[in-house]
Amino acid sequence: MISLGIILFYLIVAILAPQIAPYDPMVTIYNSDGDVVRMQPPSVEHWFGTNRMGRDIFSQVVWGTRVALVIGVFSAIIVVLIGLNVGLISGYFGGMTDNVLMRLTDLTYGLPYLPFAIVLVTLLGTGIDKIIIVIAVGLWPNTARVIRSQVLSLKQRAFIDAARVTGLSHSRIIYLHIAPNVLPIAFVYIPLTMGIAITTEAGLSFLGYGDGELMSWGRTLHEVWIAQAVYQAWWWTVFPGLAILGLVLAGFMIGRAFEQVVNPKLRQR
């Protein structure tokens, strides 16, 4: 419940970003003397300090919440949808279909994730929709394998045999009789995948492969690294890092809690 409250807090910040952020995150700020307010530590005027370009870091963190949530939520939903369908089809039909889909899964597993994501971003571009696609392409195998293992067990049950006897089509059996029994497990992977997606976007932006038109937490960290001010301006690194940590940790803890709901045996350990 605490983690859910944290997620809701981030959501409110993302929705009300224009009202919460005191400055435009991309605008250089000047003081009354006309000088750039650069490399200022946290103060009453600038809660999280300013960077070398004289931009307000608090405003950058607030606006970066939108990018993180959009990429995290949509990537997680797409990943679960792909993994769910691959697992259902692979486990239900078996045989050649299962072999082909599982070898594709193994191939995706074998690719180094971050270098593979960098290559795809280079080929597709750095728009937010492209980044979501890149993340989804690399993260679906975990969900697919878990769903497949459940389907292999479910398709041997008596109610599936009864559905076949009544003449139901394969698609109706898969999506009306098997899918509802594995959806709770699939839902576990939404918050877990959201955390991985957020850290992936931050990593890509930190390496310079993010969307240059959007302010994200990874971009803020990229700028402090380029400026070689990691140690001189601790506030430039700490606050966006804490924002990433809080959202990712909350998503992970929600996933773990929901996993105990799906599998009550975990509560006894």
- 33 belongs to a structural domain: no
pLDDT in tens, 180-236: 888 888 888 888 888 888 888 888 888 888 777 788 898 888 888 888 888 888 999
Residues 112-120 have a mean pLDDT of 87
Contacts of 58 (CB under 8 A, 6+ apart): 21, 22, 46, 47, 48, 239
Provide the domain count of the chain.
Answer: 1
- 134 belongs to a structural domain: yes
pTM higher than 0.75, yes or no?
yes
H-assigned helices in the chain: 2-15, 17-20, 57-93, 95-110, 113-124, 128-154, 158-165, 170-172, 179-206, 217-226, 234-262
Domain that holds residue 87: 2-17+48-268
* Cα dist from 86 to 5, 25, 131, 133, 145, whole Å: 33, 41, 22, 17, 8
- 34 belongs to a structural domain: no
Predicted pLDDT at 90: 93
Confidence band for 86, pLDDT divided at 50, 70 and 90: very high
- 37 belongs to a structural domain: no
pLDDT in tens, 255-268: 888 777 766 665 65
Predicted pLDDT at 268: 59
- 252 belongs to a structural domain: yes
The proportion of the chain whose per-residue pLDDT surpasses 70, expressed as a percent, equals: 97
**Interatomic CA distance for residues 73 and 80, integer angstroms:** 11
CATH number assigned to the domain comprising residue 146: 1.10.3720.10
Contact of 256 with 249, CB cutoff 8 Å? no
- 104 belongs to a structural domain: yes
For 50, which DSSP code? B
- 39 belongs to a structural domain: no
Examine the pLDDT at 72 and tell me if it is beyond 60. Answer: yes
Examine the pLDDT at 237 and tell me if it is beyond 70. Answer: yes
Examine the pLDDT at 269 and tell me if it is beyond 70. Answer: no
- 258 belongs to a structural domain: yes
